[in-house]
Each structure stands twice: as C-alpha cells, then as structure tokens.
Chain A
Amino acid sequence: NAGVMQNPRHLVRRRGQEARLRCSPMKGHSHVYWYRQLPEEGLKFMVYLQKENIIDESGMPKERFSAEFPKEGPSILRIQQVVRGDSAAYFCASSRLLETQYFGPGTRLLVL
C-alpha cells in the first residue's frame, strides 16, 4: 500500500516563475491537506480539499497561491510569481474522514 506521494521532491525556481507541486493521496483517502514548513518552524496548515472541492483555505495566502484536487489525478498546489519568501518545504497529508493524517515526503522549494 503506497503512502502519500509528492513530486517533485526538490524544485528550484527563479523569482517570478510558477511552481506546481503535486500530491497523490494514499489509496482510499479522499481528504487532502497542504502544510507549509518554513526553515526552523513547525508546519502551518494551508488548505484542505476533497475531490473537486476546496473546503477550508484559511491558511492560504490570498494572492498567488491556489490549490485543486480534481476528480482524476493528483492534488496540485500552484504558486504563481514565486518570491524568495516562498522557499519552504510543502507537505501534503491525506486521510479518510476524521482519521489520522498521513504525510508525504514533502517538496522542498527553493526560490533563487
């Protein structure tokens, strides 16, 4: 049973470019969460999605960031016009309803 998959594991972008981070939840999980971890800090909730629906995006910056979880395919976290402050590890977690969240290996984004 494969765990939560994220790709790419490492992503380097120049300021102003777009970053696309992908997350495939564990089999049987229909709830996806994105968290961001800045250097030397804990994880901060960004957004919670179910298939084709954004349920809670209270932790997502209002501009440049968007997320989706289409009917088919992985969840995507998209960051437009990246800035240096976006450099962080982005973790995806998945769960069944009201059950433990399991984390993927993360995508480490570096903005030059």
Chain B
Amino acid sequence: EDKVVQSPLSLVVHEGDTVTLNCSYEVTNFRSLLWYKQEKKAPTFLFMLTSSGIEKKSGRLSSILDKKELFSILNITATQTGDSAVYLCAVVRPIIQGAQKLVFGQGTRLTINP
C-alpha cells in the first residue's frame, strides 16, 4: 500500500530559526513529489520535485528529493510568523488513462512564535 510519512507531526520554533521538515515515501510507480502549504483553507502549491539531488528554491524556502533513499526535505530559513501553517507532502501516483492522483502525508504543523 502506498505510504507517505511526514515528520515531525508538530514543530514550534521562534521567529528567525531555521526548520527542516521531512517526508519519506513508499509508492508504486513514483512520478514526482509535491510540497503544499495549508493555512486555514486550500493547500497552496510550493514545489514539485522530480529529479534526485536538484534543489528547488523560492525565497527562504528550499526543497530537495532523494529518490534512492525515498525522502524529501523542506527547509525554511529565517522563519517568520507568516510561515505558521501545516506543510503537506504528496507523492504523485499515476492512475489509468494517463492521469494521476496525490498520496498525502499527514502533514507537519509548524508554529512560529514571535
């Protein structure tokens, strides 16, 4: 059965700290891995990772994928209170007729205290 596991489940840090969120997976026919940020509403897309070892970067956020060890990390440097959210990792799994579905981890709840 497909499995995506995130750790830690919850993390509380002070503003300015750097955090690393982890995501490991066991999925048949892996295609790519996505990170989403979920505040009180819709998950918003952060990154798509397809190739091993290539870092994706957007401002203070960066992410990398290791397809050999089956995990990804999401780094946030110089955290701000606006980074407080649930961060979701999802693996793209192909389904029939060329489409795909997402298999999500349970999320990491990140709280940034001022």
Interface size, chain B (Cβ < 8 Å)? 25
Q: Is A55's CB within 8 Å of the partner chain B?
A: yes
Q: Is B68's CB within 8 Å of the partner chain A?
A: no
| Complex CA–CA separation, A41 to B97 (angstroms) | 29
> Per-residue CB proximity of A32-50 to B under 8 Å, as 1/0?
0101000001111100101
Contact A42 B88 (CB under 8 A): yes
Which of A4, A41, A56, A93 contacts B95, CB < 8 Å? A56
| Complex CA–CA separation, A97 to B48 (angstroms) | 16
* 8 A Cβ contacts from B25-43 to A: 34, 36, 41-43
Residues of A within 8 A of B43 (CB): 43, 91, 103
Query: Assuming the A-B contacts A102-B45, A103-B42, are A55 and B106 also in contact, with contact meaning beta carbons closer than 8 angstroms in the complex?
Result: no
Using a CB–CB cutoff of 8 Å, the interface residues on chain A facing chain B are 3-4, 31, 33, 35, 41-45, 48, 50, 55-56, 59, 91, 93, 97-98, 100-106
Using a CB–CB cutoff of 8 Å, the interface residues on chain B facing chain A are 4, 6, 34, 36, 41-45, 48, 88, 90, 95-107
